[in-house]
Structure 1
């Protein structure tokens, strides 16, 4: 981990402590922040994968309005992602441990009514990822790889929560256990881990897509999680700043880190 990322994590720790000290947060403030971040998380996660709904169009779709000129799939991707976030909130609230069953459930929600045959089902064929430098494991090894992921997760509690979330996401994406929807599911897992320990959700923005894919590629090829951790940390910092500023609290900047400008 670079000195810049370590400095950013220190700023994040300070901001998280400030946020925790302000709890319980005002009810209406929490509700408005939750709505804002759910919308932005849905928009950006889907846009990374090619969904053409704008932020405003995503908002009206989530309100139950059909947008002309957009496909049924794009509408479903928005409402499905919202439902998947609600499921993440539910398992976090129940303090459930991470399991393969939960991951399959998340994926089922992501692909609900889009590809019912593959929803929640590990892939039964081999795939390649366009633009990636690594090839996902043979489909016959997916079940063992996913069991290994859960085992790794159970022994990784010593990592900083942001680093653990970034690695969980990256290790899942490297396995690529499903035919479709791995990116969305992986980013939901990232936020499960963050929200589980009291962080607001981190939004990897559409405009950071290239840097995000590059960072994932480096980690998958070399096992060096520095770049993806820095990118996730920058996303966490942005969300913490939103929370603190709405509450009228002064965040620790961390702008001296290059990662914070991602």
Structure 2
């Protein structure tokens, strides 16, 4: 088994090879795009495989015949387009952007979460207004959600405007992913938003978009849980760098 130091030496070369293959093969690039959709939506319950996703994106019309899995994929693909536009235009993140992305990924599959005083509509990207408990304790208090998001957005923008090594860039993306889950700003769709924001940071510097492989879902949740409990992002960073290495050390997905 390779040591962390060995992996850190190998990773830039592996990423360079992966990027070269993306540039040289349209078929490979499309395969990776479809798999991006597959892995993130499968983590949240979609039953579609990449071939079904390809067919859906080539032929779909939004109507009542589509399943919830199909609608989830369509919404996620719109989210991918949104973050790609921000990255291409070198657009810094804002609180409104995060809210727009939350609304985007829940556009067709979200709805009202009834509360005693005020319902929250995930289709509109409305902020969570009630307490939520996870396996490791409570997420951010609702009245602190926007302030906490503003802080992590500021940190992310500052990091992207400065010089970063490849590892530092991915650490920035993984931290944004982790903090979005920890803050839990939305009633639904937090995982998808977190993974898309992670990819935004990576696309900003034209680096491969990392994923969480669906077969590693339990390890993903375990890494998040350990990071929350220990109040240290290191377990999550280690897991995500492992996922990135798994991606670029093969022929992709």
Distance 2:184 2:9 in 1: 32
- CA deviation after TM superposition for structure 1 residue 33, in Å: 3.1
Residue matched to 1:10? 9
1:60-99 matches, within 5 Å, as 60-65=55-60, 72-99=67-94
Task: Give the secondary structure class of the aligned counterpart of 1:125.
Answer: coil
90 and 39 in structure 1: CA distance in 2 versus 1, 3 angstrom threshold: same
Deviations 1:152-201 (A, max 9, x none): 32454667112221111101100000000000110111111112122111
Aligned partners of 1:40 and 1:55 also within 8 Å: yes
Residue matched to 2:128? 123
Aligned partners of 1:200 and 1:239 also within 8 Å: no
Aligned partners of 1:107 and 1:185 also within 8 Å: yes
Aligned partners of 1:42 and 1:78 also within 8 Å: yes
18 and 50 in structure 1: CA distance in 2 versus 1, 3 angstrom threshold: closer
Higher RCO (CA < 8 A, seq sep 6+): 1
Determine if the alignment matches structure 1 residue 215 to structure 2 residue 223. Answer: yes
Residue matched to 1:175? 183
Residue matched to 2:23? 25
Task: Give the secondary structure class of the aligned counterpart of 1:63.
Answer: helix
Distance 1:166 1:146 in 2: 15
Aligned partners of 2:15 and 2:208 also within 8 Å: no
- CA deviation after TM superposition for structure 1 residue 19, in Å: 6.1
Gaps in structure 2 of 5+ consecutive residues: 112-120
Figure out how many residues of one structure are paired with residues of the other and give that number: 233
What is the RMSD computed on CA atoms of the aligned residues?
Answer: 2.6
Could you tell me the TM-score, scaled by structure 1's length?
0.78
Distance 1:11 1:180 in 2: 37
164 and 122 in structure 1: CA distance in 2 versus 1, 3 angstrom threshold: same
Alignment partner of 1:133 out of 133, 136, 140: 136
- CA deviation after TM superposition for structure 1 residue 71, in Å: 6.2
Could you tell me the TM-score, scaled by structure 2's length?
0.81
Aligned partners of 1:8 and 1:233 also within 8 Å: no
- CA deviation after TM superposition for structure 1 residue 113, in Å: 2.3
